[in-house]
């Protein structure tokens, strides 16, 4: 696996691959890699001739009181995992090369960035869209891979790609879960021994609410309350940022049922913020 740290070198390297007609799959990450990331890498390897992974803990997407400084970092472990998956190129730039002195551009993606996580983390999605736009210009991928766990992020990126005519296919892959249903996330590492089993409450509550909705026990207007109550029944939960039923395209909270429904939540367990979601068809969940 080739490790590249300089954006211009990365651009020249992919430029050479593209001239030779190679397809490039790209998995952008912030490192501390787990099976969720590796599932994206495997999908990229299946669908493309070359796979590029980036590791960059993007300061722009963290608020001033958020966990940028303590975000888990494990470069040695990550390199080992990516070598084992036979990734072609790891792009690992320094922040000073991504955001040199004077950097002042932001990519803002409108109202879909302002609901759900965007309402609780102002500026977060502008930070994500800006770095992903930069990474797309540097890596020039044919396809880019994101996890459904970060559903809103995927919607924001799809919108940006469409609005800015970026020539890249966005592929969203299923959430990878632990045995008890907890969605894999680098932030799960923050959970203490007692908090870890409690964190399964997110998925359990989403599933339970979906079942009540599908069987007609509750109506769409009751989802917010029911889901929140289910989550708060776990004593380790300190607070719920949001919980509800949303339109998977506009991300507006739903007052009336429609074909596909996104059930989503963001929950604090101690000082750890976790998110999860499921897409349901009332009859068919996934």
Contacting residue, 88, 150, 234, 276, with ligand PAF by CB under 6 A: 150
Structure tokens at 228: 């929140």
Query: What are 272's strand-pairing partners?
Result: 269
**Residue at token pair 């952008």:** 28
**CA quadruple 190, 33, 155, 204: dihedral positive or negative?**
negative
State yes or no: is 37 an active-site residue. yes
What burial letters (b/e) apply to 171-192, b meaning 16+ CB within 10 Å?
bbbebbbbeebbbbbbbbebbe
The distance of closest approach from Cβ of residue 129 to ligand PAF in the complex, given in angstroms and rounded to an integer, is: 9
| Burial (CB count within 10 angstroms: exposed 0-12, middle 13-18, buried 19+), residue 73 | middle
> Can you tell me which of 41, 52, 116, 132 binds ligand PAF, judged by CB under 6 A?
132
Which CB atom, from 184 or from 198, has the smaller least distance to ligand PAF? 184
Q: Which of 39, 48, 51, 61 binds ligand PAF (CB under 6 A)?
A: 61
- Sole window of 73-81, 110-118, 127-135, 234-242 interacting with ligand PAF (rule: CB under 6 A): 127-135
SS3 65: coil
Stretch that binds ligand PAF, among 26-34, 93-101, 167-175, 196-204 (CB under 6 A): 26-34
Least Cβ distance, residue 218 to ligand PAF (angstroms): 32
Least separation in angstroms between residue 149's CB and ligand PAF is 9
Say which residues have a Cβ less than 8 Å from residue 19's Cβ, sequence separation at least 6: none
d(CA 165, CA 167): 6
Rounded least distance, CB 27 to ligand PAF, Å: 9
Nearer to ligand PAF, 156 or 262 (CB): 156
> Which spans of this chain sit near ligand PAF (rule: CB under 6 A)?
28-30, 58, 61, 128, 131-132, 150, 153
Q: Which residues are catalytic?
A: 37
């Amino acid at each position: 696996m080739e490790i590249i740290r300089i954006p211009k070198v990365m651009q020249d390297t992919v430029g050479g691959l593209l001239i030779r007609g190679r397809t490039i799959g790209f998995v952008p990450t912030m490192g501390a890699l787990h099976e969720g990331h590796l599932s994206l890498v495997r999908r990229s390897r299946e669908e493309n001739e070359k796979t590029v992974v980036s590791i960059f803990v993007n300061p722009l997407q963290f608020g001033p009181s958020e966990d940028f400084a303590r975000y888990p970092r494990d470069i040695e472990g990550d390199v080992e995992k990516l070598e084992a998956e036979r990734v072609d190129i790891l792009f690992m730039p320094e922040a000073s090369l991504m955001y040199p002195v004077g950097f002042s551009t932001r990519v803002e993606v409108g109202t879909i960035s302002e609901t759900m996580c965007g309402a609780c983390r102002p500026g977060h999605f502008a930070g994500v869209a800006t770095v992903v736009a930069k990474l797309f210009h540097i890596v020039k991928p044919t396809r880019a891979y994101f996890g459904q766990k970060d559903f809103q992020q995927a919607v924001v990126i799809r919108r940006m790609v469409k609005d800015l005519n970026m020539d890249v296919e966005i592929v969203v892959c299923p959430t990878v879960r632990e045995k008890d249903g907890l969605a894999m996330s680098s932030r799960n590492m923050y959970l203490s021994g007692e908090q870890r089993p409690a964190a399964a409450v997110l998925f359990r509550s989403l599933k339970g609410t979906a079942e009540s909705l599908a069987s007609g026990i509750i109506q769409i207007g009751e989802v917010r309350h029911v889901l929140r109550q289910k989550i708060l029944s776990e004593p380790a939960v300190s607070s719920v940022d949001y919980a509800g039923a949303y339109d998977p395209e506009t991300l507006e909270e739903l007052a009336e049922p429609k074909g596909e429904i996104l059930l989503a939540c963001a929950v604090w367990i101690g000082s750890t913020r976790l998110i999860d979601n499921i897409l349901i068809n009332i009859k068919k969940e996934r």
